[in-house]
Amino acid sequence: MEYLKEKGRIFDIQRFSVHDGPGIRTIVFLKGCMLRCRWCCNPESQEFAVQSMVQGGRTKIMGRDVTVREVVSEVAKDRIYYRRSGGGMTLSGGECFYQPHFATALLCAAKAAGINTAVESTSCVPYKTIEEALPCIDNYLMDIKHMNSSKHKEFTGVANELILENARRLSKDAANLIIRVPVIPGFNDTAEEITAIAEFTAGLGTVRELHLLPYHRLGKDKYKGLGRDYPMGDAQLHTKDTIEELKRFAEKTGLEVIIGG
Ligand code: SF4
């Protein structure tokens, strides 16, 4: 099988995740992203280039080239947990479709090995790229960050038209599409904006779940380790009450709204 020889670049594989799709999952983090979200908690994912990052006083090399065969054999080690929990492999990043051939080959090799698949994707790529991978994706977790294109561009570096158009097309074509919203202070943490995203999501017609992902600062030290300033400055975390209130606004659209997930 040719696609087992396909090569790509990853920076981590994490086992036993319960937040990135159904059941217990192994997350494969691919290098490279076309966005530059200010709140990104994986800044080492953004550049495709292999980088050095200082963490805990040690210099780590972020990025290594692997074949699909190597990744799938690593992921398959936890097959017993997937079977019991309904879990599987999730591609994350970065943006997995930044490396479209590698991502598609990985997803199809996992499917061929009987492993459930998921992607976490911003989907800011031509739809044709996504369409080729869709037959091998069991769960599609898609971020929608803001409905206003200029605000989206100001905070992520790219406009949102392609993302929203892809969401409309995915709502017809993707299996189990879930929309996720990183809730970011000073960006989209208002009742108006969360309502607008929830209304868009409900209007897609086939999406039942909306996940609100509260802002956190867990990636802050990584910026320092990469020699970068933290773009969010001293932005504060939301209180539980604020997030609960935003959840209630989103629920008015009839969606099932989950905090985290
Ligand atoms: S899309 Fe995700 S990986 Fe890319 S910059 Fe934004 S938060 Fe980071």
| Cβ 40 under 6 angstroms from ligand 1 | yes
| Cβ 33 under 6 angstroms from ligand 1 | yes
- Looking at CATH, the fold of the domain delimited by 1-16+24-35+62-137 is given as TIM Barrel (3.20.20)
| Cβ 122 under 6 angstroms from ligand 1 | yes
Task: Report the residue among 27, 29, 37 best suited for mutation to probe ligand 1: largest number of ligand atoms under 8 A from its CB.
Answer: 37
- pLDDT score of 19: 87
Chain-centre distance of CA 202, in angstroms?
20
Expressed in angstroms and rounded, the spacing between residue 148 Cα and the centre of ligand 1 is: 18
pTM, 2 dp: 0.96
| Cβ 171 under 6 angstroms from ligand 1 | no
Q: In CATH terms, is domain 143-261 a member of 3.20.20.70?
A: yes
In three-state secondary structure terms, 129 is: helix
- pLDDT score of 3: 84
| Cβ 64 under 6 angstroms from ligand 1 | no
Chain-centre distance of CA 221, in angstroms?
20
Taking the domains of the chain in order of start, what are their residue ranges? 1-16+24-35+62-137, 143-261
H/E run at residue 119: strand 116-121
Q: Which residues of the chain register pLDDT less than 50?
A: none
Nearest protein CA to atom 1 of ligand 1, as residue: 35
Nearest protein CA to atom 3 of ligand 1, as residue: 94
Q: What is the pLDDT of residues 54-91, one digit of tens each?
A: 998 999 999 999 999 999 999 999 999 999 999 999 99
Atom of ligand 1 nearest to the CA of 122: 1
- pLDDT score of 203: 98
Nearest protein CA to atom 6 of ligand 1, as residue: 37
Question: Can you give the three-state secondary structure of 185-210, one letter per residue?
Answer: CCCCCCHHHHHHHHHHHHHCCCCCEE
Distance CA 261, CA 258 (A): 7
Secondary structure (DSSP) of 22-82: SSSEEEEEES--S---TT-S-GGGT-SS-EEEEETTEEEEE-EEEEHHHHHHHHGGGHHHH
| Cβ 116 under 6 angstroms from ligand 1 | no
Whether 1-16+24-35+62-137 and 143-261 share one fold: the answer is: yes
Chain-centre distance of CA 65, in angstroms?
21
